[in-house]
Amino acid sequence: MSEFIAGVEVPETAAVAEASRLIQETTSPLIYHHSRRVFLFSELHAQRLGVQPDPELLYLAAMFHDTGLSKAFSETEQRFEVDGADHGRAFLLEHGFSAKDAETVWLAIALHTTPGIPGRMGPEVATTNLGVLTDVLGFGLDTLDPQQVEEILAAHPRGDFKNEFLQAFFDGLKHRPDTTYGTVNAGVLEHFIPGFKSATMVERIRGSVWPS
């Protein structure tokens, strides 16, 4: 029997069920509920905008989008978004999805914190970004039906989301501060670590090996 929350149908596939189980077991309740809300808000924005993302790909992108905060999935030090994207792509390929579908999910996850680009891309990438912005920053919340928002929060409560999410961000980034250069993530470390300041583009240009 299909699951509906706020009128949104959660895809009923083996990959969706496995991803849900995996995220519940390998991340925190905070990340699990946040990821489910991101999917639901993404679908509501898709309906509002009249676009039709593939619901299964959208769900998988939402579920894996913050996994890089909980665990580094690569052997190289890289942005947490890329860690999560790599893990999401590997999951899709292991479960028989096409390389194209895996790349779509990779892009949706890798770009979910990047301003200005996702909205110019396909519906899965664009609406994943909108879902994240709504749940984290409240962006676009006023365009959604308040009753549907209430139903989503009843199914997946926020709790003390602001403080707990910032702490989860910090915990996922503090061991790789250099990866926050040029991203919105640098501000998190600047908040939690006294005296921390991410390098600027000006400093990098002036400090390069070129004599002029």
In a domain, 51, yes or no: yes
Alpha-carbon gap, residue 184 to 198, rounded angstroms: 11
CA angle centred on 153, ends 149 and 154, rounded to 5°: 115
In a domain, 199, yes or no: no
pLDDT tens track for 49-92: 999 999 999 999 999 999 999 876 677 899 999 999 999 999 99
Could you count the other beta carbons within 10 Å of the beta carbon of residue 123?
20
What range does the domain containing 41 cover?
Answer: 3-159
pLDDT tens track for 101-146: 999 999 999 999 999 999 999 999 999 999 999 999 999 999 999 9
Domain count, the chain: 1
| Tokens linked to 188 | 């998190």
Backbone phi, psi, residue 50, to 5°: 75, 30
In a domain, 106, yes or no: yes
Instruction: Check whether 96 has a pLDDT greater than 70.
Output: yes
In a domain, 190, yes or no: no
Mean pLDDT over the full length of the chain: 96
Classify residue 10 by its DSSP letter.
E
In a domain, 170, yes or no: no
Kindly report the CATH number assigned to the domain that includes residue 69.
1.10.3210
How high is the pLDDT of residue 73? 64
In a domain, 37, yes or no: yes
In a domain, 75, yes or no: yes
Question: For residues 125 and 118, is the Cβ–Cβ distance under 8 A?
Answer: yes
Does this model's pTM top 0.85?
yes
In a domain, 102, yes or no: yes
